[in-house]
């Protein structure tokens, strides 16, 4: 038996704008723009999925603390 991954729900105005632009570019036959927008959407969806799984691509920076006087 295999488990199916739960769909990732994204409520992001940028993602929504990219999706709308993708629809418009597709309707206009702007296939180079469609490809670019589709790649950007996929990157954002992959990142959202990693975050949901606790594997976000986050770099932790060291905290510089000043010495107390």
Q: Write down the pLDDT at residue 39.
A: 94
Tens-digit pLDDT string for the chain (69 aa): 455 655 555 578 888 999 999 999 999 999 999 999 999 999 988 888 887 777 656 667 788 877 765
CA distances from 68 to 21, 24, 65 (A): 53, 58, 9
- Among 44, 51, 50, smallest CA distance to 19 is for 44
Model pLDDT, residue 50: 80
Residue ranges covered by each domain of the chain = 13-52
Max Cα-Cα span within the chain: 66
Q: 48 and 8 in contact (C-beta within 8 Å)?
A: yes
The answer to whether the predicted template modeling score (pTM) of the entire model surpasses 0.85 is no
Q: What is the pLDDT of residue 26?
A: 96
């Amino acid at each position: 038996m295999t488990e199916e991954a739960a769909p990732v729900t994204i409520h992001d105005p940028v993602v929504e704008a990219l999706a709308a632009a993708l629809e418009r570019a597709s309707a206009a036959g702007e296939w180079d723009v469609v490809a670019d927008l589709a790649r950007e959407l996929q990157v954002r969806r992959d990142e959202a999925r990693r975050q949901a799984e606790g594997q976000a691509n986050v770099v932790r920076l060291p905290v510089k603390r000043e010495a107390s006087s």
